[in-house]
Structure 1
């Protein structure tokens, strides 16, 4: 249970010992083309959608044991339930309620993970709390470089998203599935993605707008395999995208995008291999990661990205 307290225009959230704000901040700054938040002077500014409202927040480290959420632009929620929702979303974004000590105990003994843990101790699997955003990001990232995926996301968000203005800057809100569900493939033609990807994103938006797909429905399934099966039934969602969403949105610790190019390259890099590891070799290496596959993958990704 996360402990928090509200003071005027601020919420202080207690963080676990196995959390390092700076390490997570460094991860969030890995690409300068990120459009969903701004990082300046070790502070993150972003819009958060909670319940019936949108609020502009600035998140920073108060001390080694707390992060502080400051409300900007007169968007501080008044109701206690809204403040609780903010705390929940911040904790979800930083995965603060996860006890990472068992992962570290396992990882220190793992020759593949040890180096990543030494470099990035305190890193959390940063969440994509909104299912539509997570699915879109997964689709946009298919078979393209990470920098180009960020370019596509910025184009998509700035064309179809809303924003809040503060101190002469725009802070973007990811496009809603309701809005995208009403568009045609031609409406997305200015976004430099393939026609298929445009179709996939509109299809996902329509499923969510119709109520056939939701984060709540997926979370009510019994296990990861059932959730993965539901996701891969969707046109354009293969095992890689499904596991990416299971990892970063639905928070399955055992989600494992085993075919991910970044994971393959990270293993090759850490092990000093002159070839790519086979799937069988990856399975053997991952045999010790049971129920921590998502964190192992994320830490290995961080060795490269």
Structure 2
């Protein structure tokens, strides 16, 4: 068992991060004790890592614990990247104090963009969740993981691309997947196994290249690519203007009678570059309450 501490450079609302992670029934966490267990898939092994808040939003300190005595540096770097602890949220806060979202960022200080635990897991979840309401989306993704994934120390690991690629469409139809969604999940997994899609390489490319490459896969549209870039890759400057939640948040913030259009949202969001991802997350947060 090893334990390491990390002091983040600026504000960091870990309690809100836990709240968002807690939307997923598959993630094991404790809001009161302020910890979350992260399933980490290593190259030839896997482990469950406990991440715990030891400080406050204003002075954030985190502990990282694992009983996997090998690859400690690799594990810690993976955890640090997931929670993006190196990002100075104070700088982003100061940037938005010069915008019309200043009061919103003052109200929700230190809101981090937390990445999904793995690139493949994130893509599968986004594909499964597209065009579904949140409750049913998590019901379906939970069934998917608990049927074909594996549990270890109370945490669930998504099935591997190899395993999903070998499934039949009816295997997912039995879990209440639509025919098309079953095809999207399995066919995309087969492309990954065949080497047509390399998510690790994609995650290093500019946004435009990812849209061009990933968008070629059947069933993966702009919304899916945007969400994968935001939550799998942790990109700073993405703003899903067509997202209904974003539009509802701006309707409330601007005190409009109707939701703004995608074009209106995109035009306004240009003022929030290069941190539009943080604007999106903070706007989502404003209507979650």
Q: Fold match, TM over 0.5?
A: yes
Trace 1:59-208 onto structure 2 (pairs within 5 A).
59-63=51-55, 64-71=59-66, 76-79=67-70, 82-111=71-100, 113-165=101-153, 170-208=154-192
Which residue of 27, 36, 50 corresponds with 2:42?
50
Moved >4 Å (runs of 4+): none
d(CA) in 2 for partners of 1:171 and 1:129?
12
Q: How well do the aligned residues superpose, as a CA RMSD in angstroms?
A: 1.8
| Alignment correspondent of 1:3 | none
Q: Aligned-pair distance for 1:289?
A: 1.1
d(CA) in 2 for partners of 1:253 and 1:83?
27
Q: Is the 8 A contact 1:18 1:100 kept in 2?
A: yes
TM-score of the superposition, structure 1-length normalised?
Answer: 0.87
Which residue of 265, 282, 289 corresponds with 2:248?
265
Q: Aligned-pair distance for 1:271?
A: 1.9
Q: Is the 8 A contact 1:36 1:174 kept in 2?
A: no
Which residue of 212, 221, 239 corresponds with 2:222?
239
Q: Is the 8 A contact 1:155 1:191 kept in 2?
A: yes
List alignment gaps of at least 5 residues for structure 2.
none
List alignment gaps of at least 5 residues for structure 1.
1-7
Structure 1 residue matching 2:65: 3-state secondary structure: strand
Whether 1:9 and 2:2 are equivalent positions in the alignment is yes
Deviations 1:213-262 (A, max 9, x none): 122221343x2111111111111110111011111112322222221111
Q: Is the 8 A contact 1:36 1:173 kept in 2?
A: no
TM-score of the superposition, structure 2-length normalised?
Answer: 0.91
Whether 1:303 and 2:286 are equivalent positions in the alignment is yes
Q: Aligned-pair distance for 1:274?
A: 1.4
Q: Is the 8 A contact 2:36 2:51 kept in 1?
A: yes
Q: Aligned-pair distance for 1:68?
A: 0.7
| Alignment correspondent of 1:227 | 210
Q: Is the 8 A contact 2:111 2:281 kept in 1?
A: no
